[in-house]
Amino acid sequence: MSQIAEHLKQVEARISRAASDAGRPSGEIALLAVSKTKPLDAIVEAFEHGQRRFGESYAQEAAAKIDALRQDSRFDAIEWHFIGPLQSNKSRLVAERFDWVQSVDRSKLVERLQQQRPADMPALNVCLQINISGESSKSGMTEAAIFELAAEVAACDRLCLRGLMAIPEHTDDLTRLGEQMARMQQLFTRLKADYPQIDTLSMGMTEDLEPAIHHGSTMVRVGTAIFGARDYS
Ligand SMILES: *Cc1c(COP(=O)(O)O)cnc(C)c1O
């Protein structure tokens, strides 16, 4: 078996175990394979082993990969998620290609994505990114700003509000990490009270997918454990 196939199985086993420990059905948790900085053949290999959701963080790199894979219609089955910080001047690259943007954190970006989403494509799925750790190095909005931006997204016909995304602090302090994840879970529950259609709490990466699943994550974003270490970022 290829290494990527082996790694996918290991990650799926981690998800199943964490779900069962948390008393949740593992079918509730989607796996997003984060392929940023990785070559096309790594994506193709994961696809051939059944992976369909892929996450990318750099608009230009991602656009080039998506356009290359579009040459072969079997890759139309891929669901593309943009998960990196998105500069306003790159929003069109994303609006015209991706199925989801998980890193929406300001009004200007909402306006641009709404204007730029082509009319012949389905509405663009949106998660609001929350800076749950409050670290200045992290993008995302404050908790207080969520409800206003959620209302703006919900009013856009070319966008579909799906939930929240966060990158909790990278720390060995499990109490601190658990506290941040619990706050995300509470915010998600509060937002869902206003928008019952939302279904996505995107939280958990290679190092912290187990506590994320324990705290209600419905989508884990995993790069390193599937594709190996990255040379940059
Ligand atoms: C790179 C990245 C990931 C994947 O991180 P790993 O630690 O390699 O699993 C997940 N989410 C976001 C937003 C990322 O930028």
Ordered mean pLDDT values, 10 residues apiece, the chain (233 residues): 93 98 97 97 98 98 98 97 97 98 97 98 98 87 91 98 96 94 97 98 98 98 96 65
Strand partners, 164: 128, 201
pLDDT at residue number 34: 98
pLDDT at residue number 102: 98
Q: Which ligand 1 atom sits closest to the C-alpha of 102?
A: 13
pLDDT at residue number 1: 67
- 133-171 burial: b if 16+ Cβ within 10 Å, else e: beeeebebbebebbeebbebbeebebbbbbbbbbbbeee
221 Cα–ligand 1 center, Å: 6
pLDDT at residue number 134: 87
pLDDT at residue number 74: 97
223 Cα–ligand 1 center, Å: 6
Pocket of ligand 1 (CB under 6 A): 34, 36, 57, 83-84, 167, 205-207, 221-225
Identify the architecture of domain 36-42+52-204 in CATH.
Alpha-Beta Barrel (3.20)
Mutate to test the pocket of ligand 1, among 57, 127, 130 (most ligand atoms within 8 A of CB): 57
Q: How many residues does the chain have?
A: 233
pLDDT at residue number 98: 98
Q: Which ligand 1 atom sits closest to the C-alpha of 230?
A: 8
pLDDT at residue number 137: 84
pLDDT at residue number 233: 54
Give the 3-state DSSP-derived string for the chain, with helices as H, strands as E and coil as C.
CCHHHHHHHHHHHHHHHHHHHCCCCHHHCEEEEECCCCCHHHHHHHHHCCCCEEEECCHHHHHHHHHHHCCCHHHHHCEEEECCCCCHHHHHHHHCCCCEEEEECCHHHHHHHHHHCCCCCCCEEEEEEECCCCCCCCCCECHHHHHHHHHHHHCCCCEEEEEEEECCCCCCCHHHHHHHHHHHHHHHHHHHHHCCCCCEEECCCCCCHHHHHHCCCCEEEECHHHHCCCCCC
pLDDT at residue number 138: 84
Place of tokens 């070319």: 158
pLDDT at residue number 211: 97
Query: Closest residue (by CA) to atom 11 of ligand 1?
Result: 221
Please report, for the chain, the start and end positions of each structural domain, with discontinuous segments joined by +: 36-42+52-204
212 Cα–ligand 1 center, Å: 13
Query: Closest residue (by CA) to atom 6 of ligand 1?
Result: 223
C-alpha–C-alpha distance, residues 95 and 90, integer Å: 9
